[in-house]
Amino acid sequence: MPEILDQARTQVLENGVGLDEAGVLAVLNLPDEHLPAALQLAHEVRMRWCGPEVEVEGIVSLKTGGCPEDCHFCSQSGLFTSPVRAVWLDIPSLVEAAKQTAKTGATEFCIVAAVRGPDDRLMRQLREGVAAIQAEVDIQVAASVGMLTQEQVDELVEMGVHRYNHNLETCRSYFPNVVTTHSWEERWETLRMVRESGMEVCCGGILGLGESVEQRAEFAAQLAELDPHEVPLNFLNPRPGTPLGDRSVVEGKDALRAIAAFRLAMPRTILRYAGGRELTLGDLGTRSGLLGGINAVIVGNYLTTLGRPATTDLELLQDLKMPVKALSATL
């Protein structure tokens, strides 16, 4: 057994203290033959500190495309020659999307907009949409609408948004290679305000942007410092027309190593499968990740791409005897 896994068994599994950056790096560098042991340990950590439940979430784009920012992975930037056109979702369709999500047993519904930060029009649309969902659908509403002012944070709290997603996307040292129109620190500032507001913090990122293994470890350590309630883990799905459109997808074993490492860095967080898992991991890898530290999934489609049918994921959870977290457990 590699020394780092022995250390993690005591430190993380028994004492609930996450690995530091050096420890995460050691896990990310484990040779293939030790990957099953790392995943097994990460699974034990998840079961010990989070339990067997899996949190299920659906997401929808309220405002697609036409974003002024230049996140190099994103097909919704208006600065690239992506085929994605700007479109707004109307409130009745938003409510219908929430109903579809609730039917899967999901407890979370996240409303997302491709913006630098919300303007008055978007805040009005969000207010109207959240109220309409709360009136008709039994589901928790989360939001992801970019960088916020303190006033906007306060307004979201007042609307009843219980969790706010704002991904750091990658580590601080690599961020300028991925985004040039705003800084990592600006994102951090929004996260700080969200945390202080009492909303739950959802913050993760994308693996496979060209970062080194060392930078993946740096990212895990920075997320651990933030201590978010939830960490969505995406794997790059290279989008046509974006600067990262020609990149290769993350190799499956590297993705699984990262899942185990991020779980060992953050034993108590909700570690969620997000975009790109279908390409990077396929069906078998998806199962391995759920047995290797993942305890939440986005079901159904993503913002501009499609996911597996929700029933496929729900059947897998049933097969793995992992109960879907009930809404009552989130309140």
**Residue among 52, 68, 83, 176 that touches other proteins (CB under 8 A):** 83
Nearer Cβ to other proteins, position 48 or 308? 308
Closest residue by Cα to residue 229 from 272, 277, 186: 272
- The CB-of-143 to other proteins minimum distance in angstroms stands at 16
Nearer Cβ to other proteins, position 190 or 286? 286
Nearer Cβ to other proteins, position 184 or 302? 302
Q: Which residues contact 116 (CB under 8 A, 6 or more apart)?
A: 67, 68, 69, 146, 147, 181, 182
- The CB-of-312 to other proteins minimum distance in angstroms stands at 13
Nearer Cβ to other proteins, position 190 or 280? 280
| Stretch of residues binding other proteins (CB under 8 A), selected from 4-12, 36-44, 82-90, 206-214 | 82-90
Residue type, 220: A
Nearer Cβ to other proteins, position 18 or 307? 307
| Stretch of residues binding other proteins (CB under 8 A), selected from 26-34, 35-43, 56-64, 219-227 | 56-64
Cα 34 versus chain centre, distance: 26
Q: Which residues contact 162 (CB under 8 A, 6 or more apart)?
A: 140, 141, 142, 199, 200
Phi then psi for 216, rounded to 5 degrees?
A: -65, -40
The residue whose two tokens read 């496929």 is 312
- The CB-of-246 to other proteins minimum distance in angstroms stands at 12
Query: Does residue 300 come out as left (phi exceeding 0), alpha (psi in the -120 to 50 range) or beta?
Result: left
**Residue among 18, 23, 58, 129 that touches other proteins (CB under 8 A):** 58
Closest residue by Cα to residue 48 from 84, 89, 9, 88: 9
**Residue among 205, 243, 289, 307 that touches other proteins (CB under 8 A):** 307
**Is 306 a residue that touches other proteins (CB under 8 A)?**
yes
**Is 121 a residue that touches other proteins (CB under 8 A)?**
no
**Residue among 93, 183, 212, 318 that touches other proteins (CB under 8 A):** 93
**Is 208 a residue that touches other proteins (CB under 8 A)?**
no
**Is 240 a residue that touches other proteins (CB under 8 A)?**
yes
**Residue among 11, 64, 190, 215 that touches other proteins (CB under 8 A):** 64
Dist. CA 319–CA 260, nearest whole Å: 21
- The CB-of-114 to other proteins minimum distance in angstroms stands at 12
* Bridge-based pairing state of the strands 87-88 and 55-64: antiparallel
Nearer Cβ to other proteins, position 174 or 302? 302
Beta carbons of 65 and 87 less than 8 angstroms apart: yes
Dist. CA 218–CA 258, nearest whole Å: 12
The two three-digit tokens of residue 305, written as one number: 């791409």
Neighbours of 227 (CB within 10 A): 14
The residues binding other proteins (CB under 8 A) are 58-61, 64, 83-87, 89, 93, 96-97, 100-101, 104, 237, 240, 278-279, 299-307, 310
